[in-house]
Chains A and B, each alone.
Chain A
């Protein structure tokens, strides 16, 4: 079993749609959680951290369920510019600065 598993893509949605990505992680001792975004042929970049109480950044909302070891990302009113691959990322306890990346979910927003 992979340490971080994500919904298989691609997700093809029209502009303005709401789309949700899910992710599960296997290490119950994980302490830090993130969503990274990777544009085609570019490097991954931090989109947002995920906090226990859930957090929102504009059109983006991240949720964490520690009991179920589940992380989600909701994108509202999707834009063409949201087209990218979204990577679920987890840090494990006592693993120093090491991050575990999921395989990513590709999102394509169409006009």
Chain B
């Protein structure tokens, strides 16, 4: 299995620019999660999808953040406009309903906003 794939692995951008993070879940998984991790706040769930439908976006910090899942094999997390406080590692994870809820994480995207 290829595992969860994320791109880019690293992103450095200037404040005010649009940032798009991409994720390809494990084939056959029906849940997809976006997390953000910082030293101060730990691992935070931003949003998750079930069968491509957003279920809970209460963790999305503000309107500058948006996420889509147009099909079962692709999701994006967009930040527009980006701010320095958005600097973090963003993880995508996927899981299969009924498989004890184990989530498989991608390698993450390390975002730096200057």
Binding site for B on A (CB under 8 A): 32, 34, 42-46, 49, 87, 91, 96-99, 101-104
Contact = CB atoms under 8 A, between A and B. Distances in A.
Interface residues of B, number: 21
Given A87-B43, A104-B42, A99 B105 contact: no
25 contacts: A32-B100, A32-B101, A34-B102, A42-B107, A44-B43, A44-B91, A44-B105, A46-B104, A49-B100, A87-B43, A96-B31, A96-B48, A97-B31, A97-B50, A97-B97, A97-B103, A98-B33, A98-B48, A98-B56, A99-B45, A99-B103, A101-B42, A101-B45, A104-B42, A104-B43
A87 B50 CA distance: 24
Contacts, number: 48
Contacts of B104: 46
Interface in B9-58: 31, 33, 42-43, 45, 48, 50, 55-56
**Secondary structure of the B contact surface, majority rule:** strand
B103 A103 contact: no
**Secondary structure of the A contact surface, majority rule:** strand
Interface of B: 31, 33, 42-43, 45, 48, 50, 55-56, 91, 95, 97, 100-108
